[in-house]
Every structure is written in structure tokens, then in C-alpha cells.
Chains A and B, each alone.
Chain A
């Protein structure tokens, strides 16, 4: 009975993900400090979120984050991928270098940017300031903290998209490209009418994944600003984490997690539908 081979995977998955996830959904309706026994409070966790300014800041920040990541890295990735297609020579080299930030641990990337670039004492920003250029550390300003973090994640992330798009572009049927060439299409026409439509499924998939990931962002925010200053760069995942482990408001943390998951759920639906096509073969 080799169908039983799936059991280890499913047991581990149920114990680590499925059952705790169901417990989280239950906990969202309880008040719990993680130690004493939970008290059922109905919808009051969600109600207090509704009146919580930090929650709305965090939600807005996640939405801003989504917009940034749906545009900037996708555009950078597509640009670099098509340029590599034009250049042809050295594409392996460019790919490997562009991919390097993806393989460096987030904690290390965060510290390099924090200490070597943004810092007014040890960083490039400090150096510029000494040359008389007025640049403030973006991570310490209420209005720029989120964008300061986003730049770091962009640097870490766009190379992945570039490599994915490049791989997809190379699979566009050569005869289509040749045909367009024979018809005398310029490079931009070729891009618009042959290459981009050819990799549309890949672009769509990356857009869907971007929406999902934008609601999961945690590492860079937690390491660079911990949601500060004055909660200005708080996102839902750091809010949940802080509520659970610093304030011991596990019920509130669970409620925030449920909200994150709701946003993810919509995107997940499209993700699975897109992937389902692939499984039809």
C-alpha cells in the first residue's frame, strides 16, 4: 500500500501547521496570556483591533508594501531580464551576481544596510553628512522608516524575480521571435507583442505571490526598526509577534494573525487556481 507513503508528511504538517492554525483561529475569540486558562470573550479582540490606531497603521503599511512590491521589483526584474536577453554575453555572470542578495541571511542584510549605509556614524549616510549633504537616517524618521526598510527588502528581493523572468523569457518559442524579426519588429515591439505575452503566466504567478508575501513580511521590519519609531513602520506580522511575546496578549495576536490570513486567503485562491492548470497535465 504505497499510498501510505504520504503519512509522515501529513502527520508533521498536521501537528505543526494545521492543528496550531485551527487553535489560533479559536484563540482569536479568547483572552489568554499564554499561561493561565483562556477566557472566552467573543468578538472583543476584533473590536479592540478596530479601535486600535496601531492596527490600522500596520494594515496600511502592509498595503503600501504590497503596492511597492507589485511594481518596483517586478519592473526591475523584467528590465534586467530583457537586458540580459539582449546582451546574451555574460548573462550567467549577471544572473549569479543579481541572485547573491537572495542567498544572504536577512539578519545579515539588515545589519549591513543599518550599519554601513543608513547609520549617521559608521555608514555612507554619515559620510555624506560630513561632506555637507543633509541626509537623515530613514529608519529613525516617522515618515520614512517604512520606505527605508522597503529599500533593503527590494535590494534583497529583485534578483530573484529577475532570474525567474529570465528563465521564462528564454522559453518563449524561438520561431515566434524569428517571425517577428522577419516582419521587421523593433525590440520594443518584440517585447510588447511576443515576449511579454509569452511570459504572462509567470508574471501573473509572481504578482500573486507578491501579494501573499507582502502580508508575511517580518524579518526586515523586526530587525531594522521593530515597528518604530512610534509604530510608524509597524506591519501586521510584527504587531502580532509583539502582542504575543511582549504584551502576552495571545488572543489579540491570534486575531491579528487571522486578519493576515484573510488577506492571504484571497491571493492563495488565485495562486492555487494558477497552479492547478499546471497539474492538469
Chain B
């Protein structure tokens, strides 16, 4: 926009943006502030600064939410999901980007349709089926569930990266005697690797934060994810909100640091695939 915006327009603009900024940061600020306070000070005034910083909240949260175990569970589950989505998703995205005939359109639309299917439409038979097969509390099985749910999003995003690769590159490789697999593995994948990194970040975020499936399929104490463990800690055992906010901060902090460092990738990726987390 040109500089013709008047002073008043600009002032109003910044006031609106600042108000929205305050609304966004206020609850986050409350989390950080109260994570540092003993329970009694939280009760007397959630807005007051801590008289003494209660670092002890973090160590108690670490023990009570069994974070040594549950953060590891979350990390393993997230890593497995990222691996499965990126491998199967890039294969499919490659084919969908290169084929123009009708059958492939149907596959594309089918995958789009599954992104909008409610989880409840398939969760109950899946749960009782898994129960019969002994797959409840099995993180590998849950990684496959996440893969099914997040793949369409990943495929649609990766497809645009594959589309951007010039056809001539592939044809040249084929003429030189490369097999289709070599073309995919040696030529295409390195070119679309930025797309794969974006997908890995977003799928990682979704799996790390996921609640409904994790709370249903991973219920035994030693299989809980960090988010579900936090949910249980804050729900039943504890009324110590200093400790609960400390636990929240432990889960949120790595995500926020990663997000701020790589915000462009996150935002472009999520906007590109348009899926609600």
C-alpha cells in the first residue's frame, strides 16, 4: 500500500493490532507467570508477580506427570508418524502430480474427502477391532492411525512441490537409463526435500498435540503421551495450579521455540494444506 494512509488510520490500525496482541498473549502470560508461583500465591492473585520464584513446580510436575516416560512416548510416536507420513505420502504425491487421467482424480478427491470425515465415523469399529487384535496401548498402531488421518494433508502439500519440478528433468534421467525408482529416489526426492521438511514439522506438531486418539488408544500408565498425562494430572490428582502450569510449559516450550525459529515454514505449510489442528 502507498503511504497515503493518514496518521489517524495508522494509529487506529496499531491500536487494533495491539488489542488483539494482548488478547492472544494474556492467557499465555498467565501460564508462564503462574508456573513460577506456589499454589497459595496463585489462589490469592493470579496476576501478581511471584514473591519468590518457585522452580520446584517444574521438578514436581516432571515427577507427577511422569514426563521422563511420557515425553519419550510422545517423541517416539511423533517420530514414527513423521516417518510413515513422509515415506508413504511422498510416493503417493509423486504419482498424483504426474498422472492426469481420470482414475487419479478420483484418488485425489477420495483423499480430500477423508480429511473431512469425522474421527467418530471410524473410531468405534477401529477401537473394538484393535482391542480384539491386542493393539490397544500399542504406539505403532496409533502411528498408523495418525498416518491415515494426516496423509491426505501431507499428500496435497507435497503434490504442489512435485508439480513444480520440470518434467524434462525426469525425462532426461529416464533417457539416461534410470529406472522409475531411481528417478523418484535420486532425482525427485532431493528436489522436493524442503516440502518434506515442512510436512515433517507440521505432522510432528499435530501428533505431539493430538488428544482424542491418544487418550482413547493409549491408556496404560507406561504408554501415555505427554499431553494426555498432563490432562490426567490437571484433571484429577492436583489442585496445585502452579504445578499444572509448569507441566503445561514443559510441553509447550519446545514447540514454541521450534515454531518461532521456523515460523515461515510452519505458516506457509499449514496455510497450504488448510487442515485444522
B89 A9 Cβ-Cβ under 8 A: yes
Q: Which of A103, A115, A237, A241 has the most CB of B within 10 A?
A: A103
A100 B256 Cβ-Cβ under 8 A: yes
A20 B123 Cβ-Cβ under 8 A: yes
Any B CB within 8 A of the CB of A244: yes
User: Considering the chains assembled together, what is the distance between the CA atoms of A36 and B214 in angstroms?
Assistant: 26
Chain A residues within 8 Å of B205, by CB: 103
Per-position binary interface string of chain A over residues 67-109, scored 1 when its CB falls under 8 Å from any chain B CB and 0 otherwise: 0000000001001100111111010101111111111111111
Chain B residues within 8 Å of A104, by CB: 28, 209, 252, 255-256
B274 A9 Cβ-Cβ under 8 A: no
Name the residue of chain B whose CB is nearest to the CB of A107: B231
Chain A residues within 8 Å of B251, by CB: 105, 108
Any A CB within 8 A of the CB of B68: no
One of B56-64, B189-197, B265-273 at the interface:
B265-273
Any A CB within 8 A of the CB of B145: yes
Chain A residues within 8 Å of B271, by CB: 163-164, 167
Chain A residues within 8 Å of B121, by CB: 20-21, 24, 257-258, 260-261
A213 B276 Cβ-Cβ under 8 A: yes
B17 A268 Cβ-Cβ under 8 A: no
Any A CB within 8 A of the CB of B54: no
With A98-B24, A105-B227, A116-B34 known to touch, is A9 a contact of B91 (CB < 8 Å)? yes
Cβ-neighbour of B117 out of A126, A157, A206, A261 (below 8 A): A261
One of A45-53, A141-149, A214-222 at the interface:
A214-222
Chain A residues within 8 Å of B23, by CB: 155
Any B CB within 8 A of the CB of A177: yes
Cβ-neighbour of A121 out of B43, B131, B211, B212 (below 8 A): B43
A20 B122 Cβ-Cβ under 8 A: yes
Cβ-neighbour of B122 out of A16, A83, A107, A117 (below 8 A): A16
User: Considering the chains assembled together, what is the distance between the CA atoms of A209 and B184 in angstroms?
Assistant: 33
Q: How large is the interface on A (under 10, 10 to 19, 20 to 34, 35 or more residues)?
A: 35 or more
Chain A residues within 8 Å of B42, by CB: 122
Chain B residues within 8 Å of A215, by CB: 118
Cβ-neighbour of A122 out of B43, B92, B149, B227 (below 8 A): B43
Chain A residues within 8 Å of B149, by CB: 16-17
Per-position binary interface string of chain B over residues 187-227, scored 1 when its CB falls under 8 Å from any chain A CB and 0 otherwise: 00000000000000000010011011000100000000001
What are 8 A-B contacts with C-beta separation under 8 Å? Answer: A24-B120, A24-B121, A87-B17, A105-B252, A126-B46, A245-B127, A260-B121, A279-B105
Q: Besides A9-B91, A94-B17, A116-B34, 9 other CB < 8 A contacts?
A: A5-B184, A8-B91, A13-B114, A20-B121, A83-B16, A167-B267, A237-B119, A257-B118, A264-B118
List the 6 closest A-B pairs by CB distance, nearest first. A16-B148, A20-B122, A5-B91, A105-B209, A23-B125, A2-B180
Which A residues have a C-beta under 8 Å from some C-beta of B? Answer: 1-3, 5-6, 8-10, 12-13, 15-21, 23-24, 27, 34, 76, 79-80, 83-88, 90, 92, 94-109, 111-113, 115-117, 121-124, 126-127, 155, 157, 159-160, 163-164, 167, 177-178, 181, 187, 205-206, 209, 212-213, 215-216, 218-219, 222-223, 237, 240-241, 244-245, 250, 253-254, 256-258, 260-261, 264, 267-268, 271-272, 275-276, 279
